[in-house]
Amino acid sequence: MDVGVAEGKFTEIMREVFNRPDLQYSPELTAAEVEEWDSLSHVDLIVAVESEFKIRLSTGEVRGLKNVGQFVALIAAKAK
């Protein structure tokens, strides 16, 4: 999938899951910078991403991610 398309969809999912319509996409954005992004909502985000992009993510794949940019790159690589 095109990274630009994945970025747009991922931003919408983040806004929905964290209930933050004002959230802006940035590849360097990390969970530490979003107050609502904790270990509980992290899994909600993954479930929403899997459902939207029709992919399956493993714990190991997600553990290695350092920022939102890497998350989107992983989605773009796995989604059709």
Partner 1 sequence: MDFTTLGFLAYLAAAALVYRVLPERLRPVLILVASYVYYWFAGSWMILLLVCETLLVFGGALLLEKTSGQRRRQTIMVTVVSLLVGVLVLFKGEFMLPSRWAGALLMPLGASYYTFKLVGYLVDVYWQASPAETNLLNFAAYSAFFPQIVAGPIQRAESFLPQMRVAPNATSRGVLLGIQRILLGFFKKFIVADNLGLFVNYVYAHLHGGAEPILLGFYGYPLQMYADFSALTDIAVGSALLFGIASPENFEAPFAAVSPTDYWRRWHITLTLWLTDYVFTPLRMSTRTWGNAGLVFSLVVNMVLIGLWHGFRWTFVIFGLVHAFYLAVDALTGKQRRNYYKTHPQTKAWAGRIGPITTFHLVAIGFVCFRASSLSDIVYVLRHLFANVTNWSAPFASFFAENSRFLAVGAGGYAVAEVFDYLRRRNAREPILETLPRWGRWSAYSCSVLAACLLAMLLFVKGNKPSPFLYAIF
* Interacting residues with partner 1 (CB under 8 A): 19, 38-40, 42-43, 46-47, 58-64
**Nearer CB in complex with partner 1: 4/40:** 40
Element (H, E) at 76: helix 68-78
DSSP reduced 3-state for 65: coil
CA–CA distance, 40 with 76 (Å, rounded to integer): 24
Minimum distance between the CB of residue 74 and partner 1, rounded to whole angstroms? Answer: 12
SS3 at position 33: helix
**Shortest Cβ 63–partner 1 spacing (Å):** 5
Which one, 7 or 68, has the nearer CB to partner 1? 68
